[in-house]
Amino acid sequence: MNSLPSAADTRGSTLINHWQSGVPVNRGRVLTPFLLFLIGLAALGLVLATVRFFSPLGPFSGMNDAYAWGVWKTFNVMTLTALGSGPLALGMAAWVFNRQKLHVVMRTALVSGFLFYATGLLALGFDVGRPWNFYSAVLPWRWNSESAMLEISICMPLYCAVFLSFEILPLFLERLYYTGNDRARDILRLIAPTIRKVYPFVIVGAYVIPLMHQSSLGGLLLLAGTKIHPLWQSPVMPLLYLIAAVLCGFAFTIFLLLIVCLRYSRDLDVGVLNELADLLSGVCFVFLAIRLADLIWRKQLHAVFALDSMSLLLMIETGLILVPAIALRIPRVRETPRALLNMSALACLGGMFYRFIPTSIAYMPAYSTSYFPSVPELVMAVGYIALGSVAFVLAINYFAVLPGEASSWDHTFRPFGWRRHSVIIATPVPSVPAAALERGV
Amino acid sequence: MSVNLNRRQAFKVMLGLGGTAVSAMLPKPTQAAEEHPAHPIAPPDAIAMLYDSTVCTGCKACMPACNEANGLPADTLLSGGIWDMPTGLNAQTKNIIELYKDPKSDEFAYVKKQCMHCLDPACVTGCPFGSLKKSDWGVVTWNSSLCIGCRYCEVACPFEVPKFEWNSWNPKIVKCEFCYDQRLKQGMEPACTAACPTQAVIFGKRDDLLAKAKGRIAEAPDKYFENRVYGEHEAGGTQVLYLSSVAFDKIGLPKLGTTSLGHYATKVTSVIYEWLSGPILMAGVLGVAIRHNWNRHELERLEHEKKTGFPDQL
């Protein structure tokens, strides 16, 4: 074993301002046994996806005519893109509501969000029965403009392929600047000011479009009408789906930051985490207030306390959101990493419950058969998640994603490859001052 | 907190607010007809089927007639490969006669199932690329070259009619299309009504059949359940009408509201997305805020870079 002497365990005691910029992980092995396991899972999922492409859906999955949407749509898309809404939630807070502190964790949110969307779209691509007809998406005269499904099938790929990709572009350019040759640097110096110029305009689209499709995901379920239990079926579902996405976006970003920073022994930052926890708690309260008002307005309060399985499910869901909402108002909880981790995990689960239940558990068609995902279906669903996780681990190792102390990074990047690097391999720092690129000199 | 605006920014804000106010006050062009009214009215040429469960003898003559007209294979799974024995509507069955029998009393009834051809169909509202559409005479048809196989129609249909070919590599959506291409276009009535020996299911204009059904109710009060026609108002009205002496929900016709699902699902979004005004307005508001914060951020960034030597990261 070539394990490095890990940094002293200062978790919890050093919550001072430690996050100044994105810093790549450049110590330790990349290819850990756990990552190999994840790669195996992802490969298995992708092999099955290939088989699925040449096989009909029926024998491959547990879906049937009553439950026409299986776990790929209800979990990988409906539920996990809520977790991937970090770029929307944090970006809106940072750029629209001027929470400047959050800029430093934007990259973590962006990379995770991009991967959730990309794997969700991959899942969708293998879920639809006639993907070869999807070219209609670029023929506007074929669009049925009143369909929520149309909105999603156009906006989601657009968001992922254009807006999120643009927002993570600086990661690649930055790496190229520090590891590339002079010619590359010259080109980058040329285009850097342009990127800075168009950036504020592009991010307007990057927030409007997810606002549209995250609410449309709830809008999809309106047409299902009485098939969905009245505790969930409601005209405000689009709004609640959007708020749940923002809630999950904040909660998952906190969760991910804590997990990864603890894994790579990074110091935490009380200022940023406090800000995030504050916002998360606020969003939780907004969600619960709208949920309660909606249940009262639709006169469904009696069903909440009916104590049947659906009402218990609702209580669990509400509890999972209410506990962090209250707990995160207490400064001591916010400043204790362990409590913050637990509370953000609960909020994540609560938001995911709200997004998942109406599509599956509370989805009760009259001629109900049963649905449980088949083994290949589940392996594929897990495979997509594993694929995203592998990509995230590689991203934080090879790019400046995770927040850290600016002084801890001497602008070295881990070189690409699977070799073991027991020492930091320093690439020569370019003679041009780093700030020059960004200033567009 | 006070917001410091220079003259130019103040003008911009005023322009934005003014534009919003003006667009709200301007008279909207009066629309000829709402896209999804809560209670749609059938056009005068709408065709329909009237099925009277008290007349049906359960001979199932309509089923092979349907299979023949639509070129569907017999569903022989249960009968061991001998004859057509579907257990419900499925990818090989667009039309079926089902028997309801109360295990305690001797109450029983037959019921014919097929697409209800709603006046405002949820499947058509949801279909992203218009593969399912309302064709001539109000018939709901499916177009294979536009369907992406998302199966939203199966989720949306309150009667659970559209079926998906789960066992096909090139799956189609299978549902009754009123024999649109096969017979209606040639001026013939659908195969099932043509084949029915007892006139339990009859074909005609929706208005005529509705009047006929109400006539039957008037002739024999208390014969029919709730003295009403199922499909007159259900889910905004359907173009298949039912009469039955047994409760509708017992024979598998779900209890539904009278509002069309399309109205319920699009009444808010159709306002927000009208000419994309909602998203454009949102983009304008966000754009102003982001621009403001961006400029502030740029000043801070230069100061920060001068002080620390570390570049700002996007």
Read off the pLDDT of residues A289-325 as tens digits, 9 standing for 90 and up: 999 999 999 999 999 999 999 999 999 999 999 999 9
Rounded to an integer, what distance in angstroms lies between the CA atom of residue A126 and that of residue A119?
Answer: 11
Can you read off the two tokens belonging to residue B223? 């014969």
Q: pLDDT at position A435, please?
A: 47
Can you read off the two tokens belonging to residue A274? 């406090």
Q: Are B209 and B48 in contact (CB under 8 A)?
A: yes
Closest CA to B141 of B160, B166, B123: B123
Cβ-defined contact of B262 to A434 (cutoff 8 Å): no
Percentage, residues of chain A above pLDDT 70: 90
Could you give the residue ranges of the DSSP H alpha helices within B83-138? 122-126
Q: pLDDT at position B21, please?
A: 59
How many CB atoms sit inside 10 A of residue A109's CB? 28
- Asked whether residue B33 is assigned to any structural domain, the reply reads no
Cβ-defined contact of A201 to B287 (cutoff 8 Å): yes
For A146, the closest of B266, B293, B294 (CB atoms) is B266
pLDDT digits (tens, 9 = 90+) for A69-85: 999 999 999 999 999 99
Cβ-defined contact of A129 to B302 (cutoff 8 Å): no
Cβ-defined contact of A142 to B129 (cutoff 8 Å): yes
pLDDT digits (tens, 9 = 90+) for B110-121: 999 999 999 999
Report the complex ipTM: 0.88
Closest CA to A49 of A383, A276, A354, A281: A383
Can you read off the two tokens belonging to residue B170? 């090139």
Q: pLDDT at position B35, please?
A: 84
Do B105 and B243 belong together in one domain?
Answer: yes
Q: pLDDT at position A139, please?
A: 95
User: Which positions ≥6 away from A32 have C-beta within 8 Å?
Assistant: none
Mean pLDDT of B38-47: 94
The neighbouring-strand residues paired with B163 are B174
Cβ-defined contact of A227 to B270 (cutoff 8 Å): no
Do B168 and B128 belong together in one domain?
Answer: yes
Rounded to an integer, what distance in angstroms lies between the CA atom of residue B157 and that of residue B170?
Answer: 22
Mean pLDDT of A358-383: 91
Count H helices, E strands: chain A?
Answer: 17, 2
Do B74 and B165 belong together in one domain?
Answer: yes
Q: pLDDT at position B103, please?
A: 87
For A438, the closest of B163, B169, B311 (CB atoms) is B311
The single residue listed with the structure tokens 């998640």 is: A385
Rounded to an integer, what distance in angstroms lies between the CA atom of residue A10 and that of residue A16?
Answer: 11
Bigger pLDDT: B57 or A15? Answer: B57
From chain A, pick out residues whose CB is under 8 angstroms from the CB of B312. 438
Q: Is the model's pLDDT at B312 over the cut of 80?
A: no
Q: Is the model's pLDDT at A430 over the cut of 50?
A: no
Rounded to an integer, what distance in angstroms lies between the CA atom of residue A56 and that of residue A47?
Answer: 15
Rounded to an integer, what distance in angstroms lies between the CA atom of residue A116 and that of residue A352?
Answer: 14
In angstroms, what CA-CA distances link A440 with A105, A203, A337, B305, B309? Answer: 23, 20, 39, 13, 15
Do B161 and B243 belong together in one domain?
Answer: yes
Do B248 and B124 belong together in one domain?
Answer: yes
pLDDT confidence bin for B56, thresholds 50/70/90: very high
Neighbour-count burial of B310, counting CB atoms closer than 10 A to its CB (0-12 exposed, 13-18 middle, 19+ buried): middle
Q: Is the model's pLDDT at B10 over the cut of 50?
A: yes
Mean pLDDT of A166-190: 92
Q: How many CB pairs under 8 A join A and B?
A: 208
pLDDT confidence bin for B314, thresholds 50/70/90: confident
From chain B, pick out residues whose CB is under 8 angstroms from the CB of A64. 166
Q: Are B249 and B255 in contact (CB under 8 A)?
A: yes
- Asked whether residue B306 is assigned to any structural domain, the reply reads yes
Q: pLDDT at position A439, please?
A: 45
Bigger pLDDT: B3 or B121? Answer: B121
Q: pLDDT at position A367, please?
A: 77
Rounded to an integer, what distance in angstroms lies between the CA atom of residue A358 and that of residue A219?
Answer: 12
Phi and psi at residue A384, to the nearest 5°: -65, -40
Q: Is the model's pLDDT at B16 over the cut of 70?
A: no
Look over chain B and give the mean of its residue pLDDT values, rounded to a whole number.
89
Interface test with A, best of B124, B155, B249, B274 (most A CBs within 10 A): B155
Measured between CA atoms, the residue of chain B closest to residue A93 is B290
- Asked whether residue B41 is assigned to any structural domain, the reply reads no
- Asked whether residue B32 is assigned to any structural domain, the reply reads no
| SS3 at position B256 | coil
Could you give the residue ranges of the DSSP H alpha helices within A363-414? 375-398
Do B53 and B151 belong together in one domain?
Answer: yes
Closest CA to A29 of A218, A276, A206, A263: A263
Phi and psi at residue B98, to the nearest 5°: -110, 150
Q: Is the model's pLDDT at A267 over the cut of 60?
A: yes
Do B52 and B158 belong together in one domain?
Answer: yes
Q: Looking at B240, B264, B288, which one is the last position of a domain?
A: B264
For B149, the closest of A96, A130, A366 (CB atoms) is A130
Q: pLDDT at position B256, please?
A: 93
Structural domain span for residue B290: 268-314
Measure in Å the smallest separation between the Cα of B87 and chain A Cα atoms.
12
Mean pLDDT of A46-75: 92
From chain B, pick out residues whose CB is under 8 angstroms from the CB of A95. 289-290, 293-294
- Asked whether residue B7 is assigned to any structural domain, the reply reads no
Measure in Å the smallest separation between the Cα of A225 and chain B Cα atoms.
7
Mean pLDDT of A30-34: 93
Cβ-defined contact of A133 to B146 (cutoff 8 Å): yes
Mean pLDDT of A420-436: 48
- Which one is the CATH code of A21-439: 3.40.718.10, 3.40.50.150, 1.10.10.10, 1.20.1630.10? 1.20.1630.10
From chain B, pick out residues whose CB is under 8 angstroms from the CB of A149. 126-128, 150, 152
Please count the residues of chain B: 314
Cβ-defined contact of A208 to B286 (cutoff 8 Å): yes
pLDDT confidence bin for A92, thresholds 50/70/90: very high
Q: Where are the domains of chain A?
A: 21-439
Cβ-defined contact of B171 to A54 (cutoff 8 Å): no
Q: Which long-range contacts (CB under 8 A, 24 or more apart) does A305-311 make?
A: A310/A229, A310/A231, A310/A362, A311/A231
Q: Are B154 and B120 in contact (CB under 8 A)?
A: no
pLDDT digits (tens, 9 = 90+) for B243-254: 999 999 999 999
pLDDT digits (tens, 9 = 90+) for B167-219: 999 999 999 999 999 999 999 999 999 999 999 999 999 999 999 999 999 99
Measure in Å the smallest separation between the Cα of A353 and chain B Cα atoms.
20
Do B219 and B243 belong together in one domain?
Answer: yes
Measured between CA atoms, the residue of chain B closest to residue A58 is B166
Do B301 and B193 belong together in one domain?
Answer: no
Do B190 and B101 belong together in one domain?
Answer: yes
For A437, the closest of B90, B155, B311 (CB atoms) is B311
How many CA atoms within 13 Å lie on the side-chain side of A115? 19
Of A166-170, A208-212, B126-130, B300-304, least confident by mean pLDDT is: B300-304
Q: Are A387 and A103 in contact (CB under 8 A)?
A: no
Q: pLDDT at position B8, please?
A: 60
Measure in Å the smallest separation between the Cα of A37 and chain B Cα atoms.
32
- Asked whether residue B5 is assigned to any structural domain, the reply reads no
For A57, the closest of B171, B265, B279 (CB atoms) is B171
Cβ-defined contact of A149 to B150 (cutoff 8 Å): yes
- Asked whether residue B193 is assigned to any structural domain, the reply reads yes
Q: Is the model's pLDDT at A6 over the cut of 80?
A: no
Q: Is the model's pLDDT at B301 over the cut of 90?
A: no
Mean pLDDT of A248-252: 98
Do B225 and B128 belong together in one domain?
Answer: yes
How many CA atoms within 13 Å lie on the side-chain side of A366? 17
Q: pLDDT at position A293, please?
A: 97
Do B162 and B273 belong together in one domain?
Answer: no
Q: Is the model's pLDDT at A433 over the cut of 50?
A: no
Phi and psi at residue B216, to the nearest 5°: -60, -40
Q: pLDDT at position B26, please?
A: 52
pLDDT digits (tens, 9 = 90+) for B290-299: 999 999 888 8
User: Which positions ≥6 away from A111 have C-beta within 8 Å?
Assistant: A168, A171, A392, A395, A396, A399, A401
Bigger pLDDT: A2 or B178? Answer: B178
Where residue B160 sits, what CATH number does that domain have?
Answer: 3.30.70.20
Q: How many domains does chain B have?
A: 2
